[in-house]
Amino acid sequence: MPRMTDLVPCRERVQVDGKFFRVGPARFRVRGVTYGTFGPNKSGEPFPELAQVERDFARMRDLGANTVRIYHLPPRWLLELAGAQGLRLLVGLTWASHSCFLDSRVSRREGRTAVTSAIRSLAGHPAVMAVVLGNEMPPDLVRWLGAARVGSFLDELVFAAHEIDPGCLCTYANFPTTEFLQPRYLDFVTFNVFLHDPAALGNYLARVQFHADGKPLLLGECGADSLREGQQRQAEIVASNLSVAARAGLAGAVVFSFTDDWVRGGRRVDDWEMGLTTVTREPKTAFNEVRENFSAPPPMPQPLPRVSVVVAAYNAAATLRACLESLLRLNYPDYEILLIDDGSTDDTTRLSADFPQIRTLRHKTNLGLSTARNLGIRAATGDVIAFTDADCRADPDWLRYLVLGLIEHRVAGIGGPNLLPPDDSPVAAAVMASPGGPTHVMFDERHAEHLPGCNMAFWRWALEGVGSFDPVFHRAGDDVDICWRILRQGWQLGFSPGGFVWHHRRSSVRDYLRQQSGYGEAEALLVAKHPERFNAIGGAQWKGRIAGQTRGSAPWNRPVIYRGIFATAMFQSLYTPAADGLLPLLTSLEYHVAIVLPLWVLSFTAHWLWPVALAALLLPALLCCVMAGQPVIPRDRCRWWSRPLVAILHFLQPLVRSASRYQARLNLRAEEPRAPDSLEASALAFSDASAGERAYWASDWRDRQEWIARIQTALGNHCWNYRDDAGWSNFDLEIFGSRWARIELVTVAEANHDGSQTLRARLIRRWTLTAQTFFFGTLATVLLIAGLFHVNWRGAWVPFATQLAIALFLRREGRILQCRLSAVLDQVSRDWKLTPIRPSTTGSGPGRAPA
């Protein structure tokens, strides 16, 4: 056992540190055991006698534990004893939490009084790690009272505790049967989970980590019964529980329990033996396994790959020093740091000279984010390349968790959370609660669709396999593009909750809106490159769930709860519904332009329309106010104006982002690839009928999909942008080759009677978004002007002639594109030994129907 002189008494309090805890500057990983419940001692206290507690605490120190979870308010002597021996107490507060406490005001008041009285008795004591406001409320009780009401009451208790003792950490010990009970303002999330299978436990902890979002997750109880399992099997289960919890990025774990001496409801429990020691405190086999696990973190896979950390910086002097200092403190054995100074004009270059151990590469001019990151990839020596931004600070274990996830889950890339730094301003906290921030999008609890560029890592072979970052993305969008291209290869992206960075949000409304404008420009580039992932108006269509969606979703779009028959399921899981389409629709730029603006213009002449116009404007404003009340804003940075500001940003963000996207799409000069010079003359010689439909004859059977693949290859060689049918379209390829026109290509294979085959291609002309905006915008403007100035029928020929001229121009552009594509199809078919024939002919040979 340790000598008293070896013990370090508790002097500082435990604090939340992102997804983990710390004491002072050092990380505090919870290594705990439960203690009790016990029968009353001679003084009537629900704890053993002082001498026994002293011996038990000494045994816990020998075990390597630093935390003891107790289920009753401790007397002062127990607090002092724990503090003297360097043990932190996770204190359970006793009140009527297992009764229908919300059904009367008296019960609510009594519960609040019991909690506040307990907090006053514990306030400021360094041995108190946190208080547990309740433990495993029965699911039928929570259903009876209402999960939202119970969660709100627990939040009230958190607020009351913080009013008395601002440094007090508060949690609630949940369990899988009431997974749906999710208070919003707990300082950290605690779950009691008893699963013996490591894979099942890992999967469930990943699920709970998703719901915990940016808060620490503590495994509040875990263990096994040696009476039923045997001591050896108990030891194996407990050891695997602790190992899985550590690898899953949890802040710690508490083993149930220290001893088999257990009293419940005034009666000794003798048909369970969950303890690490017997009733007489004799260590079991599991005791030694836990001591070995507590003595050191779980080993990392060997050998560990070398990691290159790439930081692209442009005029980042304000945050660069903190970023680089955090990267130099990473707990990883083999890594390098590469700083890419992308033509900065501030003190970034001077600051980089203060870090000679960091490789710095510099562009003379600003070439953009993607180009800077590609330079880092070329200069990197690691097998894994990790990326973060200059306005981020990395957690010391950031790389350990990312690399562990890359290896264990066999993914091509991985990312983690990016959290609001504790020193960010109240405006930044409001920005964090507003839409459009950098966040991850998840297919499930382990696999991602999108990883934010401020926190992502990839195997080198994956980056090289997709050609690294596309230099067309200067300010944003490069992370979305690289993720989608990796997924297109059939590879997977992972997510590691423990691998987090602190990421500064924009500290002013102007900077936030400028960021959203940049995202809009990036979306315009993404639409051109990944059109299958966007809807008709250019909005991204995510297949996964956006992080934090369960906590920030609209009140009418709450997650669905599976309760089981009569609410008896052991795992009453929470399922997030599909994203709600009402808010994006009513706050979109298209809604304001197509509905609100015309209603207001028409209301000047038709006065009866003004109430409708007013309602059309107030409805999205009202929805934004409702949504502003959903996200959690840190209480220390929440001001009276925080929620109104979030509502305003909810209203402005989609307008600014969409306007920027449209402006970029309209100004973006689409490459107009031309058919090879040798085919240009023949392309322009096509008639409308022959260019609109082509047919080719083959003497033997040819695979239509191979024909399409050859067409795709030819389009790529001539730099045409196109998208494939994702399974939902009426065409095989949609081809973009002009500012004004696009072509939908439909193919069919026809078997002839003599065993030959006819392959047909239909090229359908469509207007691009630019053409539609130009035509219908002009038409709407002309009609509004005519209506406002009461133009008579004699002057109507001018607007109609204008629209006719525009329509003829757009038709001509479509026909030119159609003809050029027909020439490319002819070339592909000739190379594949196909003979052109007249589309309207079903002939059985090339001589009957020459094209």
Does the pLDDT value for residue 841 go beyond 60? no
Enumerate the H helices of 3-104 as residue ranges.
50-63, 76-84
pLDDT bin (cut points 50, 70, 90) of residue 556 is low
Does the pLDDT value for residue 57 go beyond 90? yes
Q: Tell the residue number behind the tokens 């809009």, with chain if given.
A: 520
Residue-level pLDDT at 200: 93
For residue 756, whether the previous peptide bond is cis, meaning omega lies within 30 degrees of 0, is: no
Q: Quick one: angle between helices 509-529 and 478-488, nearest 10?
A: 30
Q: Of residues 462 and 96, which shows the higher confidence score?
A: 462
Cα separation, 70 vs 89, whole angstroms: 7
Cα separation, 290 vs 235, whole angstroms: 8
Residue-level pLDDT at 850: 41
Cα separation, 68 vs 711, whole angstroms: 68
Residue-level pLDDT at 605: 78
Cα separation, 829 vs 844, whole angstroms: 17
At 633, the amino acid letter reads I
Residue-level pLDDT at 674: 47
Average pLDDT score over residue span 463-486 = 92
**Which residues does 346 contact at the CB level (< 8 Å), separation at least 6?**
315, 316, 317
Region of residue 449 (left: phi > 0; alpha: psi -120 to 50; beta: else)? alpha
pTM exceeds 0.85, yes or no: no
**Which residues does 601 contact at the CB level (< 8 Å), separation at least 6?**
784, 788
Beta bridge partners of 721: 736
Does the pLDDT value for residue 848 go beyond 70? no
At 47, the amino acid letter reads F
Question: How many Cα atoms within 13 Å fall on the side-chain side of residue 599?
Answer: 17
Question: How many Cα atoms within 13 Å fall on the side-chain side of residue 847?
Answer: 0
pLDDT bin (cut points 50, 70, 90) of residue 154 is very high
User: What is the DSSP secondary structure assignment for residue 534, as one 8-state letter?
Assistant: B
Does the pLDDT value for residue 79 go beyond 60? yes
Look at residue 814 and give its three-state secondary structure.
helix
Look at residue 553 and give its three-state secondary structure.
coil
Cα separation, 434 vs 631, whole angstroms: 8
Cα separation, 254 vs 274, whole angstroms: 13
Residue-level pLDDT at 549: 47
Cα separation, 106 vs 173, whole angstroms: 24
pLDDT bin (cut points 50, 70, 90) of residue 172 is very high
Do the Cβ atoms of 304 and 333 come closer than 8 Å?
yes
At 257, the amino acid letter reads S
Closest CA to 496 of 733, 662, 249, 266: 249
Cα separation, 441 vs 546, whole angstroms: 4
Does the pLDDT value for residue 753 go beyond 80? yes
Residue-level pLDDT at 550: 43
Does the pLDDT value for residue 839 go beyond 70? no
Residue-level pLDDT at 675: 45
Name the average pLDDT for the chain.
87
Token pair of 629 as six digits: 């009340």
Region of residue 467 (left: phi > 0; alpha: psi -120 to 50; beta: else)? left
Q: What is the pLDDT of residues 232-275, one digit of tens each?
A: 999 999 999 999 999 999 999 999 999 999 888 778 888 889 99
Look at residue 469 and give its three-state secondary structure.
coil
Residue-level pLDDT at 301: 80
At 615, the amino acid letter reads A
Does the pLDDT value for residue 150 go beyond 80? yes
Run of H or E including 110:
helix 105-122
Residue-level pLDDT at 553: 57
Closest CA to 516 of 423, 626, 650, 622: 650
Look at residue 657 and give its three-state secondary structure.
helix
Handedness of CA 723, 726, 729, 733 (dihedral sign): positive
Do the Cβ atoms of 409 and 248 come closer than 8 Å?
no
266, burial (CB in 10 Å: exposed 0-12, middle 13-18, buried 19+): exposed
Average pLDDT score over residue span 181-200 = 94
Average pLDDT score over residue span 381-385 = 96
Token pair of 414 as six digits: 């991985």
Residue-level pLDDT at 791: 57
% of the chain exceeding 70 in pLDDT = 88
Residue-level pLDDT at 734: 85
Average pLDDT score over residue span 17-23 = 95
Does the pLDDT value for residue 688 go beyond 60? no
Does the pLDDT value for residue 729 go beyond 80? no
Cα separation, 265 vs 37, whole angstroms: 9
Q: What is the pLDDT of residues 80-93, one digit of tens each?
A: 999 999 999 999 99
Do the Cβ atoms of 449 and 413 come closer than 8 Å?
no
Residue-level pLDDT at 844: 43
Does the pLDDT value for residue 571 go beyond 80? no
**Which residues does 839 contact at the CB level (< 8 Å), separation at least 6?**
689, 690, 693, 694, 695, 760
At 588, the amino acid letter reads S
**Which residues does 234 contact at the CB level (< 8 Å), separation at least 6?**
223, 224, 225, 226, 284, 285, 286
Cα separation, 134 vs 98, whole angstroms: 9
**Which residues does 199 contact at the CB level (< 8 Å), separation at least 6?**
none
Look at residue 359 and give its three-state secondary structure.
strand
Does the pLDDT value for residue 76 go beyond 80? yes
Residue-level pLDDT at 669: 47
Cα separation, 61 vs 86, whole angstroms: 8
Does the pLDDT value for residue 679 go beyond 70? no
Average pLDDT score over residue span 582-596 = 84
Does the pLDDT value for residue 411 go beyond 90? yes
Average pLDDT score over residue span 488-501 = 94
- For 214-218, 261-265, 704-708, 769-773, which range has the lowest pLDDT when averaged over its residues? 769-773
Closest CA to 526 of 534, 535, 518: 534
Residue-level pLDDT at 60: 95
Does the pLDDT value for residue 155 go beyond 70? yes
Does the pLDDT value for residue 345 go beyond 80? yes
Token pair of 370 as six digits: 């993607």
Residue-level pLDDT at 813: 86
**β 20-23/14-17 pair status:** antiparallel
Closest CA to 286 of 220, 244, 221, 241: 241
pLDDT bin (cut points 50, 70, 90) of residue 566 is low
Residue-level pLDDT at 719: 73
Radius of gyration for the alpha carbons in the chain, expressed in angstroms and rounded: 33
CB atoms within 10 A of CB 8: 8
Q: Tell the residue number behind the tokens 């969660």, with chain if given.
A: 151
Q: What is the pLDDT of residues 635-660, one digit of tens each?
A: 889 999 999 999 999 999 999 998 88
